[in-house]
Structure 1
Amino acid sequence: MKTILKYDGSFEGLLSVVFYVYEHKLKEVSIIKDKHYEPNFFDHSIAILSEPKKAKRVWQGLSKKLSPKAKTKLYKAFLSETLKIENTILYYIRKALSASVSIENDFTDSEILHIEKTVKKVDREKHRMDAFVRFQLTKDGIYFATVEPDFDVLPLNARHFKTRYADQRWLIYDLKRNYGIFYDLLEVQTITLELAKDINRGDKASIYFTYEEIEFQKLWFNYFNSSNIVSRKNIKLHIKHIPKRYWKFLTEKKF
């Protein structure tokens, strides 16, 4: 009978699970987020609490066997939210800690290769968010944007936007995961809000955004359309560089 280890879905929580596995010398386990767990008669489940001290011990302990780059890859793989990625991460950690040589580039191992491929997908999504986020100036002076990335990449975007917009207050909100990152001119904080359902509707823009912002968006939309050369339009290439799932958040596609 396999032991199911449930956790809160945070990276700290996952590292706490890893600590528990080693502390209790467990072999056959499966890790799953609380919200995804479905009870059954055949498995034994245990809820693992997130414990910062234990998570920190695991993360620091990994430095003895993994490079900073490899540790970052584990974090990025976690942010992918891919099905059963927690079990792949546990496998990677177990192999790294038990091996006498570095396993970081052992791509003959399908699990390690899976981590590598997953990280590349997350990196690609992170860079797309850097490029495709479109801010709108709210009436209370905050540059606001909504996104719905395939992966949970906002923690990776924070540094880019803090550096690029260091003199502005801004908020990027992930509608799919219901949280955002807010920069208050000093630091980036993670926040949750109850957003109005119509905040992205063009006919309601005047409720939330400044008049100058709305006029600027119309100007940009008109410029974008007028600069297009119809005879050179290549929709397939356009979609390749800017997938349709991003269009609803782009100013040049709104009106």
Structure 2
Amino acid sequence: MENPKILIYDGSFNGFLTTVFKVFEEKIEVTNIQRNTENQKGLFSEAITVFTQMDKARRVWNSIQNKSNAAIKSIYFAFLSESKGVELLLYQYIRSMYANPDEERIDDIAEIILKIQQQSRMVAREKHRIEAIANFTISKDQILFSDVSPGFDVLPLISKHFRTKFKGQEFIIYDRKRKYAIYYNLYTVEIISLELSAYHNKEVISQTTLKYLINNKLHSQYTNKPQMGYINERAAV
């Protein structure tokens, strides 16, 4: 019997879904699923690196969503909690959804589902809190800017709220804790890894051409590596 494996992925939700696809496709016995920023642990476990593939991630997303809209929402929100060990819990939950009636039941599945639901609710509360407290300043080039520091990774969930609130208006929301921003350009929402900590002062923002900074960063991203779409708030509301 092969040793159980630790699966290492890039930390993105699409990376996690790709990992789930690989586990099911190759019938891998899993001992843990870890982000590539974590220390690998498992004395008798072999580590396998999984590279994100959008087509495989989308297949897993669509399959779960077809089974249950409530489940895909809980899975996505719980993932954004960034809780230690959440990936393994989510994998076990997903596995239980596809188990055959005669297959051995996963130990403590009821407790696992409860933990996922609790984490999902915490993320939902944080989403609404950030939507309520985010303050915006307008930049020199008329882009609304807000910097926030949410307890959970909720930026992918909040753009719909602000697109509705600020119709016909470009905006940037920056996560100080995770050092990335969402940018709405009136057509799409871009996720940008960007250091904007120096722009928390209203006077600085009002004198800054934010689009120049954003376009330079986006150009660098498009030039240096292939862009990858992300599965985001389709399950958030």
Same-fold call, TM > 0.5? yes
> Can you give the 5+ residue segments of structure 2 that lack an aligned partner in the other structure?
102-107, 208-237
Alignment of 1:227-238 (within 5 A): none
Cα deviation, residue 99, structure 1 = 5.3
| Residue 122 of structure 2 corresponds to residue 121 of structure 1 | yes
Match of 1:244 in 2: none
- Of 57, 60, 68 in structure 2, the residue corresponding to residue 58 of structure 1 is 60
2:65 aligned with 1:48? no
The 2-side partners of 1:190 and 1:74 are apart by 21
Query: How far apart are 1:37 and its partner, in Å?
Result: 2.8
Task: Normalising by structure 2, report the TM-score.
Answer: 0.77
- Match in the other structure for 2:9: 7
Post-superposition offset of 1:108: 7.6
How many equivalent residue pairs? 199
**Per-residue displacement from partner, 1:187-235 (whole Å, max 9, x unpaired)?**
322223232x43225xxx433326xxxxxxxxxxxxxxxxxxxxxxxxx
Q: Distance in 2 between matches of 1:60 and 1:26?
A: 21
Do residues 140 (structure 1) and 141 (structure 2) align? yes
SS in structure 1 of the partner of residue 91 of structure 2: helix
1:98 partner SS: coil
Partners of 1:6 and 1:53 in 2: how far apart? Answer: 19
2:173 is paired with a residue of what secondary structure? strand
Unmatched segments (≥5 aa) in structure 1: 101-106, 211-255
Q: Which residue of 1 aligns with 2:204?
A: 207
Q: Distance between the aligned counterparts of 1:85 and 1:117, measured in 2?
A: 12
Which residue number in structure 1 is paired with residue 217 of structure 2? none
Are the equivalent residues in 1 in contact too, given 2:172–2:184 (CA < 8 A)? Answer: yes
- Which residue does 2:229 correspond to in 1? none
RMSD: 2.0
Structure 1 residues 26-175: aligned runs within 5 Å? 26-38=28-40, 42-64=44-66, 66-98=67-99, 109-175=110-176
Give the structure-1-normalised TM-score. 0.72
Partner amino acid, structure 2, of 1:141: Q
Q: Which residue is 1:230 aligned to?
A: none
**Deviation, structure 1 residue 71:** 0.9
Worse-matched range after superposition: 26-35 or 84-93: 26-35
Aligned identity (percent) is: 38
